[in-house]
Amino acid sequence: MKYTVVLTAAFPKVARELLAGEFDVIEHPTEHGRSEEDMITILAEADAAITLLQDPVTRRVLESNPNLRIVSNFAVGYNNIDVDAARELGIAVANTPGVLTEATADLTMALLLAVTRRVVEGDAETRTLQRCDWEPLKLLGASLQDKRLGIIGMGRIGSAVATRARAFGMEVVSVRRGDAASAGKHAGAISMDDLLATSDILSIHAPLTRETHHLIDAAAFAKMKRGAYLINTSRGALVDENALCNALDSGQLRGAALDVYEHEPQINPRLLAMKNVVIVPHIGSATEEARNAMARIAATNVLLVLRGQEPLYKVI
């Protein structure tokens, strides 16, 4: 009898191609806002599953199917999965790190440039007016040369962003999740307070954990250099969005650029109304190359576990 692999979304075709010859594959359309009940139903026949970051793979979901052997998350993060429950139940959890590093770093720089040079505002104005009116004081932004970029989370993506930023003539400083002790392991590492107080642009690349939830809150914004910018391509809940909106309203921040949101798929209406905020729909890894590589890894994780081997990238 063949194992059954459930795909919770329409993934790049390479995932199905790798699995279909050996296993029964059930593919569901991509949907947002699935509940526990939805996931229990979807995974009822699964021996293995490839899931999305927004799929709630809770203890109750994991306990509902005693045949489930592996959950392979189509993401670097896995905060949607109850890892403790999976460990207790003997269910492997795997992810897809590494292959989206360059794509996410590229988008981070695109957002950084877009917000500091007011690209989205300029695009909207030009389309509305249907002409180009040059004026000496129109849409003045900020240059990047000699500006300080503070990076929270100097892992693969943070390091790739640092390389790009230095090519633009920026000074890069870093701290790993606010831990001053570990910060010394990185070139240019400083304390969190110093990073907040001295950075012209703050870019977040830390994982979402209990400790990092609302890492950047009202107190953090108050410590930031007035007129600084915030870039977040990591996880939305690392930032207290109401505090972010207050900081933007007061002028404490000059602008923000976001690929992720605290309550995805919903976006704070205050952010939607702000001209000095660039918002894109969680597209950090959205290149053909990165998404195909993620699909290949996610499927290979499943393939190996169902063959009795270790996955390529094992969380537990």
Can 166 be counted among the known catalytic residues? no
Can 307 be counted among the known catalytic residues? no
Q: How many CA atoms lie less than 13 Å away from 35 in the CB half-sphere?
A: 2
DSSP 94-110: E---STTHHHHHHHHHH
* SS3 label, residue 5: strand
| Catalytic choice (27, 102, 264, 270) | 264
Say how far apart CA 159 and CA 167 lie, in whole Å: 13
Cβ atoms of residues 89 and 243 within 8 Å = no
| Catalytic choice (34, 235, 254, 296) | 235
Say how far apart CA 110 and CA 93 lie, in whole Å: 32
Q: How many CA atoms lie less than 13 Å away from 173 in the CB half-sphere?
A: 20
Residue tagged 């993934």 (tokens) = 11
Give me the phi and psi of 231, to 5 degrees please: -120, 130
Can 264 be counted among the known catalytic residues? yes
As given in the structure block, the two tokens for residue 133 are 């009116």
Q: Which contiguous run of DSSP H or E holds residue 24?
A: strand 24-27
Residues in CB range of 216: below 8 A, 6 or more apart? 152, 202, 204, 230, 238, 239, 240, 243, 244
* SS3 label, residue 239: strand
Active site residues: 235, 264, 282
